[in-house]
């Protein structure tokens, strides 16, 4: 493994009051950097002062979008220890996204050691209150200064850190969702399975339209028949129907969320039946009519669990669980956040310690 160099900063930023800042507005003093070219491969891993970067106006990412990213969190546990949630799952997914966009795979071990060293150096930036965290954003983008349409020969990987407030600053609350039957986010054979800016670009307009109509998020249907349920906003979606947890299977157009995987593992541990399969919007409407749709919720690193209180499809509103947070959603939210804060003992190896107490 290449040695990770360190370049000290001369100026330190003032740390913000995390409870009053939005998501991703403040960044720590350092970042991790590594570069790729064909001759040297990924080389020169280093921790450097956080700084603006300059790119050529012909930078291929700006024109053709060859880029990927990850999002994970570090927490300060009750006893002061700093941990990261499911680090290796996120780094392995980064390489899976890289494969789908023809970006050269990184050496997971180097990035893993670099990330841990970065968090260790920046430990003062990990906020202490329950629900607060240090958001970790690794990303890779093409850096060729060239307008020809081709796979880039050079890349940059950066990891930046941003302290974030508890997602539910005003309490854990259900959201209103519009089922999108016009726009689509991803198609089989496309990039839906990669964590890449393209999927976000494809979803912004529909998200804005849903907002204008008074909804918080869009529920995406499949891009071919507009029949099968895929994701909600940029989260995975899960249903509790007749006591069973049902979520769309990872069929190529859905991102394999780490939170989704955690929810399924914890539900299994609790002895609750789970099913990963294709599920149509008609099946959800039918279950609702029959009084069998107990709960609907999204899952993702930012919110952990996002309970859905209302689903609107073709002008019909379905009020889920009387618009209140379901007991399974609440229990799962408490459990996962409990593992992260250290209040609940981790029996499945989700938590990785960065610092000793
Ligand atoms: C990141 C992301 C998710 C959630 O994944 P987690 O690993 O749980 O944070 C779901 N869908 C999309 C499109 C995403 O980009």
Return the exposure string of 162-174: e unless at least 16 CB atoms fall within 10 Å of the residue's CB, then b.
bbbbbbeeeebeb
Percentage above 90 pLDDT, the chain: 94
Q: Per-residue pLDDT for 269 more than 80?
A: yes
State both tokens at 241: 């129907």
**Collapsed DSSP state (helix, strand, coil) of residue 211:** helix
> d(Cα 307, Cα 184) in Å, to the nearest integer?
22
> d(Cα 118, Cα 4) in Å, to the nearest integer?
10
Q: Are residues 280 and 212 in the same domain?
A: yes
pLDDT at 355: 80
Closest residue (by CA) to atom 5 of ligand 1?
Answer: 257
The pLDDT-based confidence of 7 (bands split at 50, 70, 90) is very high
- Name the residue among 198, 192, 350 with its Cα closest to residue 265: 350
Q: Are residues 214 and 336 in the same domain?
A: yes
Contact 55, 14 (CB under 8 A): no
Where a domain ends, among 164, 185, 204? 164
The pLDDT-based confidence of 182 (bands split at 50, 70, 90) is very high
Please tell me if the CB atom of residue 110 comes closer than 6 angstroms to any atom of ligand 1. Answer: no
| Atom number, ligand 1, closest to the C-alpha of residue 262 | 8
- Name the residue among 7, 321, 340, 17 with its Cα closest to residue 173: 321
> d(Cα 237, Cα 308) in Å, to the nearest integer?
10
> d(Cα 322, Cα 304) in Å, to the nearest integer?
22
Q: Are residues 102 and 231 in the same domain?
A: no
Number of structural domains found in the chain:
2
| Atom number, ligand 1, closest to the C-alpha of residue 70 | 1
Look at residue 255 and tell me if it is in a domain.
yes
Q: How far is the CA of 146 from the centre of ligand 1 (A)?
A: 31
Look at residue 239 and tell me if it is in a domain.
yes
Look at residue 130 and tell me if it is in a domain.
yes
Q: Are residues 331 and 229 in the same domain?
A: yes
Domain extent, residue 9, equals 5-164
Q: How far is the CA of 7 from the centre of ligand 1 (A)?
A: 32
Look at residue 169 and tell me if it is in a domain.
no
Please tell me if the CB atom of residue 199 comes closer than 6 angstroms to any atom of ligand 1. Answer: yes
Q: Are residues 326 and 183 in the same domain?
A: yes
Q: How far is the CA of 254 from the centre of ligand 1 (A)?
A: 9
The pLDDT-based confidence of 173 (bands split at 50, 70, 90) is confident
Q: Are residues 325 and 213 in the same domain?
A: yes
pLDDT at 300: 97
The pLDDT-based confidence of 158 (bands split at 50, 70, 90) is very high
Rg (CA), the chain: 21
Look at residue 357 and tell me if it is in a domain.
no
What is the mean predicted confidence (pLDDT) over 232-246?
A: 97
Q: How far is the CA of 86 from the centre of ligand 1 (A)?
A: 14
Q: For the chain, what is the mean pLDDT?
A: 96
CATH number, position 21: 3.30.470.10
Contact 247, 254 (CB under 8 A): no
CATH number, position 263: 3.20.10.10
Q: Are residues 27 and 106 in the same domain?
A: yes
Q: Are residues 146 and 58 in the same domain?
A: yes
Contact 356, 123 (CB under 8 A): no
Look at residue 355 and tell me if it is in a domain.
no
The pTM of the whole model exceeds 0.85: yes
Ligand 1: residue of 301, 302, 304, 336 to mutate (most ligand atoms within 8 A of CB) is: 301
Where a domain ends, among 139, 164, 189? 164
The pLDDT-based confidence of 155 (bands split at 50, 70, 90) is very high
Q: Are residues 159 and 184 in the same domain?
A: no
Q: Are residues 98 and 240 in the same domain?
A: no
SS3 content of the chain, % helix, strand, coil (to 5): 25, 30, 45
Please tell me if the CB atom of residue 197 comes closer than 6 angstroms to any atom of ligand 1. Answer: no
Look at residue 346 and tell me if it is in a domain.
no
Q: Are residues 265 and 329 in the same domain?
A: yes
> d(Cα 195, Cα 355) in Å, to the nearest integer?
29
Closest residue (by CA) to atom 10 of ligand 1?
Answer: 235
pLDDT, tens only, 240-249: 999 999 999 9
Look at residue 293 and tell me if it is in a domain.
yes
Q: How far is the CA of 137 from the centre of ligand 1 (A)?
A: 13
> d(Cα 148, Cα 63) in Å, to the nearest integer?
10
Instruction: Report which of residues 166 and 148 the model is more confident about.
Output: 148
Q: Are residues 250 and 147 in the same domain?
A: no
> d(Cα 261, Cα 267) in Å, to the nearest integer?
10
Where a domain ends, among 164, 191, 213? 164
How many Cβ atoms are within 10 Å of 55's Cβ, its own excluded? 14
Please tell me if the CB atom of residue 122 comes closer than 6 angstroms to any atom of ligand 1. Answer: no
């Amino acid at each position: 493994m290449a040695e990770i160099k360190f370049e000290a900063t001369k100026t330190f930023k003032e740390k913000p009051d995390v409870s009053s800042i939005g998501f991703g507005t403040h960044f720590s003093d350092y970042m991790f950097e590594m570069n790729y070219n064909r001759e040297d491969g990924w080389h020169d891993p280093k921790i450097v002062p956080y700084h603006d970067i300059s790119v050529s106006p012909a930078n291929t990412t700006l024109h053709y979008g060859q880029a990927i990213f990850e999002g994970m969190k570090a927490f300060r546990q009750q006893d002061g220890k700093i941990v990261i949630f499911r680090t290796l799952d996120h780094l392995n997914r980064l390489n899976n996204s890289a494969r789908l966009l023809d970006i050269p795979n990184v050496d997971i071990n180097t990035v893993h050691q670099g990330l841990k060293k970065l968090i260790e150096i920046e430990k003062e930036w990990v906020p202490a209150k329950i629900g607060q965290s240090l958001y970790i954003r690794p990303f890779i983008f093409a850096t060729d200064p060239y307008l020809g349409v081709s796979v880039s020969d050079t890349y940059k990987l950066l990891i930046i850190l941003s302290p974030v407030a508890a997602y539910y600053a005003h309490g854990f609350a259900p959201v209103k969702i519009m089922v999108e039957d016009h726009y689509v986010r991803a198609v089989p054979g496309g990039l839906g399975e990669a964590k890449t800016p393209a999927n976000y670009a494809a979803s912004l307009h529909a998200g804005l339209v849903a907002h204008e109509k008074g909804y918080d998020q869009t529920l995406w249907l499949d891009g071919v028949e507009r029949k099968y349920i895929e994701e909600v906003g940029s989260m995975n979606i899960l249903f509790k129907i007749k006591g069973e947890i049902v979520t769309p299977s990872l069929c190529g157009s859905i991102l394999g969320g780490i939170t989704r995987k955690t929810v399924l593992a914890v539900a299994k541990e609790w002895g609750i039946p789970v099913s990963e399969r294709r599920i149509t919007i008609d099946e959800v409407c039918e279950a609702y009519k029959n009084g069998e749709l107990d709960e609907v919720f999204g899952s993702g690193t930012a919110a952990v669990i996002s309970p859905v209180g209302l689903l609107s499809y073709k002008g019909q509103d379905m009020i889920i669980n009387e618009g209140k947070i379901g007991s399974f959603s609440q229990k799962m939210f408490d459990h996962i956040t409990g593992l992260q804060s250290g209040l609940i003992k981790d029996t499945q190896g989700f938590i990785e310690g960065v610092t000793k107490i």
